[in-house]
Amino acid sequence: MKEKNKVFWKGVEELHNEPEFIKNNLNEFPASVLAKDEASDESAPDRRDFLKLVGFSVAAATLAACEAPVKKAIPYLNKPEEIEPGIANWYATTFAEGGDYASILVKTREGRPIKIEGNKLSSVTGGATSARVQASVLSLYDTERLKGVQSAGKASSWEVADAAIVDRLSKISQEGGAIRIVSSTILSPTTLKAIAEFKAKYPTTEHVVYDAISSSAISKANAASFGKAVIPSYRFDKADTIVSFGADFLCTWGAGDYSADFAKTRKLSKNKKTMSRLYAFESNLSLTGSNADFRAPIKLSQEGLFVAELYNRLTSARINTEAVKNDILDKAVIDLLASKGKSIVVSGSNDVNVQILINEINLALGNYGTTINLNSPVNYRLGDDEKMNQFVDDLKGGKVAAVIFYAANPAYDHPKAEDIKAGLKQTKLSISFADRADETASLVEYITPDHHYLESWNDAEPKAGFYSLAQPTISPLFKTRQAQESLLKWSGNNTDYYTYLKNNWGSSILNGGSWDKALHDGVYESGVASVESAVSSTFNTSAVAENISKVYTSASKGIDLKLYEKVGIGSGVQANNPWLQELPDPISKATWDNYLAVSKKYADDNKLKEGDLVEIKVGNKKLAKAVPVLIQPGQAPGTASLALGYGREKAGKVGTGVGANAFALATIQDGLVQYSAFNVTITPTGGFSQIAQTQTHHTIMNRPIIQDATLKEYKANPAAGRFFPTVTTPDGKVAPAKVDIWKDQHVQPNHKWGMSIDLNTCLGCGACVIACQAENNVPVVGKKEVINRREMHWIRIDRYYSSAAEPKETGVYFKGEGDLELPDQTENLEVTFQPMMCQHCNHAPCESVCPVAATTHSTEGLNQMTYNRCVGTRYCANNCPYKVRRFNWFKYFDNGEVFDKNTSMNTALGRMVLNPDVTVRSRGVMEKCSMCVQRIQEGKLTAKKEKRKVKDGEINVACAAACATGAITFGDQNDPESQVSLENDDLNKERAYAVLEELNVQPNIFYLTKIRNTQA
């Protein structure tokens, strides 16, 4: 076979095997194809780049054509300079609701106001905030606020409404028709200026001011006595003896916040062993009465006689009234005479004659110029009942052509609400600035809703010469308009309110001061409270005596009714705020309701049980709804009391229908609104409605949970009242802390956070509860769940009643284990408040029992809860001796279908109030006080960034920050200089005790014994 010897070649280069060919042959792709043209511009696209671009473009175009989900979160196109995600901005502004006032700082996160703190720069409030102020941030996000202007119940536009209103106002004004602006107390001088401008434009306008809860009698009495129709400022911090006749000045009386001043006189330490002494003569057990050293339950129908008796006993002059006898009054007389010029006598009565007597008493005691200052009056209550009555009569008589309601809801909160409702139909034009179609606004033609105060520019002058500014903390959520701007617009002044306000301040307030600084500080204080010169009064003895005798008698056998204000709901303006509805009443611990508080004797005599429904009639006025009865220890026999601010009909889904409207039972006598009524008729209906209370056992069972003593005992022995438990060991009796199986388990080398809670200055108001709720995203659970005992508050205020202990029994506990039942005898009732939250035990019983280690101890002494890890066995809650753990029984964060009142979690708008630094807890996990760990972390991080140690006072927990009286001190116990260490280890070392010390759980929270000034 012949071998094939043929050679195949592609070209001559291969045939000859030229070196060039061999070299090139090794590369599969010739360089000419691969490499870009060396000479060409590097950035110019070549063929491959072109193909890539084509491919990408086609793919991108295709993808872009697909519908992308719409994201509602719109990023800032240009990031505002001041907004840094994750970092809070604080703005100083002013809370004013009617005459209620607070200078505040608002914390905003990513543009949303989420928390309110007091402004310490204000010398009027001193940084105090009440529960209502704390809760007002939630009212901003109320979905039931009107979203725009309304005309005859239908949505309209501002342009149309403005044109129509101006047109009709002009017509009415030309015809000489009366125009009335009805408002509650207006603290803002610039608003008053705007109203004046409106008046100038429409000369038939009159401004009628009234307060839902009136203090008219005080200014009238001052007018009568001293020729000054004002409410003076009081200096409770300078008083050694305070006597209150039904004036709940620690709660809501006169809207002034006097609790901080009062608490200064109650603060004790090794350097200050003196205390003021507070006497309370009252019918219902008020916050003031419960903090009194001596409290006499008296009938309202004798209140005037008691005041007159005090007057007679203190002065040489006498007025001729029926004499009354009372041991506590005798004591008060002695103390008042001993502390002349350093005492205050106040009365909550809206009876001019009583207030005149109070003036005379204070005058006789020389209190004007020391504790009471008429030259520096407060503006909290400027309402004039008589003027309001005149307006109601005019309205009813068809004499009012146009009416504008501003921050006023008289169809709900005026005793003549029915007349107002009827009269409104006869007006030609009615306008309301209300934020919702409330009881009054729903009857008017135009609702031109005002901004929420957190959306507004404004100012306030709570006290002559003390100004503060309000600035918006968020853009208006809805198409609302500031009321002042509306008034200006209708007056033909098209200036926006900000400019108007700034101009007004520049021209008449600042006197050359810096606007920017005033805005930054929130306050501008120009006025120096002038000292009172010697005051003389005019006093018509016989007329007062006659009037007192006419009204008050000790012969009355009927039941007296007191209408009072609760610390949470107040006059009912914020009734649609679920935080406030669920805030337990400081005394009764009831939520979501008002009720008729009666004495135990009355209930027994009439066979009434707690929760039995009764109808109440005052003369011919009847309460619209039956209310349940609550047996209130300390309620004076022959009296009953009912809270105002409930029974809203058009407040919104939260507030509507809660309780009954007690304003309907207020009467008008001699032109003034009276909140007490004599000889009321109480008829059981046979029905029953359970009152939702967060505490149902009321005595301390003689356990050393509250450790108390009298001032005398304390002076003799600072540790008076203390209980020192011991444990018996082979080496004898030792303190529980000496017996330990843990052996250095928990070391806290850096910080050891802790608190000191002074039972002496805790007045029980509950501001801390709301502050905690706002800070820590605590859900609201509703009446039914409170009845089921499932409220979620991380901090609660335990309130215990006791009969006054025998002096020799101070410090003796467990004797006979105390009373299971409430004492029947109420004369000597003592009340103690104890804020209770997680005690952050160093030997925490909850930590050792959790099967999944979801609750653990930090190296800084915190008892931590890891929500993600919790499976919800509730073993920790069972084993907690303080019962402070709260379980998520349902998915509260999303339970709108079954319970629509948890608005801070169940409405998209409401959720804006949630604190982004705090986890919203899911169903089935345990939660509890974290000692505001998010604040601790933030403070530590700030310090770390600045390469320094955390300074004492730099970090503060929400409850302590909200406490007006400084009863709660938070800090690092490892720092001997910190305030908390000073309180617990130095100033009040002997008073500091851990609750349930005998269990040796070693809490980080210490309480200072309650010292009562019953013996000095």
In the complex, least distance from residue 784 CB atom to another protein, rounded to whole angstroms: 10
* By the rule CB under 8 A, 769 interacts with another protein: no
Cβ proximity to another protein, 284 vs 834, nearer residue: 834
In the complex, least distance from residue 821 CB atom to another protein, rounded to whole angstroms: 12
Mark the segment that binds another protein (CB under 8 A) among 131-139, 154-162, 273-281, 701-709.
701-709
Using CB atoms within 10 A of its CB, is residue 655 exposed (0-12), middle (13-18) or buried (19+)? buried
* By the rule CB under 8 A, 696 interacts with another protein: yes
Sign of CA dihedral 889, 895, 900, 905: positive
Cβ proximity to another protein, 650 vs 1010, nearer residue: 1010
In the numeric block, the tokens 């179609």 are attached to 437
Ramachandran area for residue 419 (φ above 0: left; ψ -120 to 50: alpha; else beta): alpha
Please tell me the distance from the alpha carbon of residue 417 to that of residue 421, in angstroms, as a whole number.
6
Task: Give, in order, the Cα–Cα distances in Å from 677 to each of 638, 641, 669.
Answer: 12, 10, 11
Residues 6+ apart with CB under 8 A from 530: 373, 375, 376
In the complex, least distance from residue 886 CB atom to another protein, rounded to whole angstroms: 6
In the numeric block, the tokens 């009298």 are attached to 710
Cβ proximity to another protein, 430 vs 802, nearer residue: 802
Interface residue with another protein among 398, 814, 824, 977 (CB under 8 A) is 814
Mark the segment that binds another protein (CB under 8 A) among 67-75, 590-598, 918-926, 937-945.
918-926
Interface residue with another protein among 530, 669, 717, 788 (CB under 8 A) is 788
In the complex, least distance from residue 698 CB atom to another protein, rounded to whole angstroms: 8
* By the rule CB under 8 A, 858 interacts with another protein: no
Cβ proximity to another protein, 210 vs 833, nearer residue: 833
In the complex, least distance from residue 798 CB atom to another protein, rounded to whole angstroms: 4
Structure tokens at 375: 């030259």
CB 646 within 8 A of CB 572: yes
Interface residue with another protein among 239, 263, 642, 850 (CB under 8 A) is 850
Relative to beta strand 277-282, strand 294-297 is parallel
Interface residue with another protein among 852, 976, 977, 1016 (CB under 8 A) is 852
Cβ proximity to another protein, 681 vs 699, nearer residue: 699
Interface residue with another protein among 701, 804, 909, 943 (CB under 8 A) is 701
Structure tokens at 337: 């005479």
* By the rule CB under 8 A, 795 interacts with another protein: no
Cβ proximity to another protein, 163 vs 852, nearer residue: 852
Residues 6+ apart with CB under 8 A from 534: 369
In the complex, least distance from residue 892 CB atom to another protein, rounded to whole angstroms: 9
Binding string, 815-844, against another protein, x = CB under 8 A? Answer: --x----------------x-x--------
Q: Write out 71-137 in H/E/C secondary structure.
A: CCCCCCCCCCCCCCCCCCEEEEEEEEECCEEEEEEEEEECCEEEEEEECCCCCCCCCCCCHHHHHHH
Interface residue with another protein among 24, 157, 848, 942 (CB under 8 A) is 848
Please tell me the distance from the alpha carbon of residue 92 to that of residue 94, in angstroms, as a whole number.
7
* By the rule CB under 8 A, 845 interacts with another protein: yes
> Taking CB under 8 A as the criterion, which residues in 509-548 touch another protein?
none
In the complex, least distance from residue 989 CB atom to another protein, rounded to whole angstroms: 25
Task: Give, in order, the Cα–Cα distances in Å from 96 to each of 453, 568, 572, 609, 962.
Answer: 8, 16, 14, 40, 17
* By the rule CB under 8 A, 737 interacts with another protein: no
Interface residue with another protein among 924, 939, 949, 990 (CB under 8 A) is 924
What letter would DSSP give residue 636? P
Cβ proximity to another protein, 511 vs 848, nearer residue: 848
Ramachandran area for residue 677 (φ above 0: left; ψ -120 to 50: alpha; else beta): beta
Interface residue with another protein among 785, 830, 917, 983 (CB under 8 A) is 785
Cβ proximity to another protein, 476 vs 881, nearer residue: 881
Interface residue with another protein among 170, 606, 695, 864 (CB under 8 A) is 695
Relative to beta strand 627-631, strand 596-598 is parallel
How far, in whole angstroms, is CA 226 from its chain's centroid? 35
* By the rule CB under 8 A, 733 interacts with another protein: no
* By the rule CB under 8 A, 80 interacts with another protein: no
In the complex, least distance from residue 693 CB atom to another protein, rounded to whole angstroms: 11
Please report how many Cα atoms fall inside a 13 Å half-sphere around the Cα of residue 116, on the Cβ side.
27
CB atoms under 10 Å from CB of 204, counted, come to: 17
What letter would DSSP give residue 663? G
Task: Print burial letters for 535-567: b (CB count within 10 Å at least 16), e (below 16).
Answer: bebebeeeebbebbbebbbeeeeebbbbbbbbb
Cβ proximity to another protein, 366 vs 881, nearer residue: 881
Cβ proximity to another protein, 515 vs 890, nearer residue: 890
For 408, phi then psi, to 5°, come to -145, 145
* By the rule CB under 8 A, 926 interacts with another protein: yes
Task: Give, in order, the Cα–Cα distances in Å from 284 to each of 248, 277, 307, 416, 722.
Answer: 10, 20, 17, 25, 31
In the complex, least distance from residue 1006 CB atom to another protein, rounded to whole angstroms: 16
Mark the segment that binds another protein (CB under 8 A) among 436-444, 612-620, 796-804, 963-971.
796-804
In the complex, least distance from residue 589 CB atom to another protein, rounded to whole angstroms: 9
* By the rule CB under 8 A, 996 interacts with another protein: yes
CB atoms under 10 Å from CB of 93, counted, come to: 28
Binding string, 869-898, against another protein, x = CB under 8 A? Answer: xxxxxxx-xxx-xxx-xxxxxxx-------
Mark the segment that binds another protein (CB under 8 A) among 124-132, 380-388, 670-678, 845-853.
845-853
Structure tokens at 380: 């909290």
In the numeric block, the tokens 């040796």 are attached to 1000
CB 215 within 8 A of CB 350: yes
For 590, phi then psi, to 5°, come to -90, 150
In the complex, least distance from residue 855 CB atom to another protein, rounded to whole angstroms: 9
What letter would DSSP give residue 937? H
Please report how many Cα atoms fall inside a 13 Å half-sphere around the Cα of residue 320, on the Cβ side.
4
Interface residue with another protein among 790, 911, 940, 949 (CB under 8 A) is 790
* By the rule CB under 8 A, 925 interacts with another protein: yes
In the complex, least distance from residue 832 CB atom to another protein, rounded to whole angstroms: 11
Structure tokens at 86: 């994750």
Binding string, 620-659, against another protein, x = CB under 8 A? Answer: ----------------------------------------
CB 1004 within 8 A of CB 841: yes
Interface residue with another protein among 333, 337, 804, 849 (CB under 8 A) is 849
- Count of residues that bind another protein according to CB under 8 A: 58
Cβ proximity to another protein, 75 vs 732, nearer residue: 732
Cβ proximity to another protein, 519 vs 876, nearer residue: 876
In the complex, least distance from residue 727 CB atom to another protein, rounded to whole angstroms: 10
Sign of CA dihedral 888, 892, 895, 899: positive
Cβ proximity to another protein, 656 vs 695, nearer residue: 695
Residues 6+ apart with CB under 8 A from 920: 777, 893, 905, 914
Binding site for another protein (CB under 8 A): 695-701, 703, 705, 785, 788-791, 796, 798-800, 814, 817, 834, 836, 845, 848-853, 869-875, 877-879, 881-883, 885-891, 922-926, 995-996, 999, 1001
